[in-house]
């Protein structure tokens, strides 16, 4: 169950179609790098804002399934963040009378083996799992994108070194990495975050490198070099915006993989430790009492499955929307 197994295949697809995406997102013709005036800058900013609004409207019209998935995720995030203010209760409050209580008006999702509210712990666990997955995916995206941009733009020995490093990282299964981190750092949040980052950095590096190779040969990057723009300015002002689309799609798939990895590692006891709940640890606790209190495992498992499904559907719809070849079908 390696995080990179699913996301790397989709990453390869994103990198394959990057050149067509680059052509669709290249800067407006006639713009001279480094030669913006104040009025031109305001006009460009206004044009970009209108383009972003238009893109969002087109996505909503073209992809009802993606829109529903995005709204579902936003609702889940809102519930996770606002749970303590919605009256879900204290996830650590013990009630011996509520041990293995079936779902009722007082406990909508029942009680666990210590009489704690499954609903309260589910909301708290969802918040922990989403936070871990999001932080890990964003950190991996930042580091991997930087490596891919630098390798693709400068090429040569640096490119070869970065690509061989990604090959080495690809060779480690996620669960094996989790075991290694548990031995080195002890089981906990740090080990989960580092495992997900190490497993997914090479995916972002390869996705970013492919379109960077195409962008660096375009006329506008050549013009930027001619007028004396520094490599950092070219990378972050002209190259990065034009490779952001496949990276955004890959980020969605990586978030899904991170949720799976967190759930698997915590289920095995290598991730989030008691008394802090996460979706994976709730599944581990509910497994023991599945026969006498199935709701203790049913609700966390259903929540995790729906979250992963929503992220995957959103990623698929984003890929279909941004891929010129898929749009033509």
What is the model's pLDDT at position 42? 47
Give the alpha-carbon dihedral of 192, 195, 199, 201, to 10 degrees. 90
Angle, vertex CA 146, rays to CA 50 and CA 221, nearest 5: 60
Q: Is residue 81 in a domain? A: no
Q: Is residue 207 in a domain? A: yes
Q: Domain containing 212 — which CATH number?
A: 1.10.3720.10
Q: Is residue 263 in a domain? A: yes
What is the model's pLDDT at position 47? 52
Q: Is residue 261 in a domain? A: yes
Domain that holds residue 238: 1-20+120-329
Say how far apart CA 212 and CA 200 lie, in whole Å: 19
Q: Is residue 102 in a domain? A: no
Domains identified in the chain, total number = 1
2 Cβ contact partners less than 8 Å away, ≥ 6 residues apart: 173, 174, 175, 199
Residues of the chain with pLDDT under 50: 17-38, 40, 42, 328-329
Which run of H or E residues covers position 314?
Answer: helix 295-322
What is the model's pLDDT at position 21? 47
What is the model's pLDDT at position 31? 44
Q: Is residue 49 in a domain? A: no
Tens of pLDDT, residues 207-219:
999 888 888 888 8
What is the model's pLDDT at position 243? 85
Q: Is residue 232 in a domain? A: yes
What is the model's pLDDT at position 32? 42
């Amino acid at each position: 169950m390696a995080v990179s197994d699913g996301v790397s295949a989709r990453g390869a697809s994103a990198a394959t179609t990057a050149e067509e995406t680059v052509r669709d997102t290249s800067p407006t013709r006639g713009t001279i790098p480094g030669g913006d005036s104040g009025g031109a800058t305001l006009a460009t900013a206004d044009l970009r804002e209108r383009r972003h609004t238009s893109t969002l409207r087109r996505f909503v019209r073209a992809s009802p399934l993606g829109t529903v998935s995005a709204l579902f995720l936003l609702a889940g995030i809102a519930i996770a963040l606002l749970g303590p203010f919605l009256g879900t209760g204290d996830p650590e409050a013990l009630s011996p009378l509520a041990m293995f209580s079936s779902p009722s008006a007082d406990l909508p999702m029942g009680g666990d083996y210590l009489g704690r509210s499954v609903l309260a712990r589910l909301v708290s666990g969802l918040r922990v799992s989403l936070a871990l997955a999001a932080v890990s995916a964003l950190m991996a995206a930042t580091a991997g994108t930087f490596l891919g941009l630098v390798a693709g733009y400068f090429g040569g020995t640096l490119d070869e070194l970065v690509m061989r490093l990604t090959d080495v990282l690809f060779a480690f299964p996620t669960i094996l990495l989790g075991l290694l981190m548990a031995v080195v750092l002890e089981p906990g949040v740090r080990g989960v975050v580092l495992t997900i980052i190490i497993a997914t950095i090479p995916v972002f590096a390869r996705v970013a490198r492919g379109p960077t190779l195409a962008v660096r040969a375009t006329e506008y990057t050549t013009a930027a070099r001619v007028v004396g723009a520094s490599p950092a300015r070219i990378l972050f002002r002209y190259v990065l915006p034009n490779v952001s689309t496949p990276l955004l799609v890959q980020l969605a798939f990586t978030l899904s993989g991170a949720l799976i990895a967190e759930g698997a590692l915590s289920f095995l006891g290598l991730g989030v430790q008691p008394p802090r709940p996460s979706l994976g640890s709730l599944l581990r606790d509910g497994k023991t009492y599945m026969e006498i209190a199935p709701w203790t495992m049913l609700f966390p498992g259903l929540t995790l499955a729906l979250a992963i499904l929503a992220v995957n559907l959103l990623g698929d719809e984003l890929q279909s929307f941004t891929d010129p070849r898929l749009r033509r079908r």
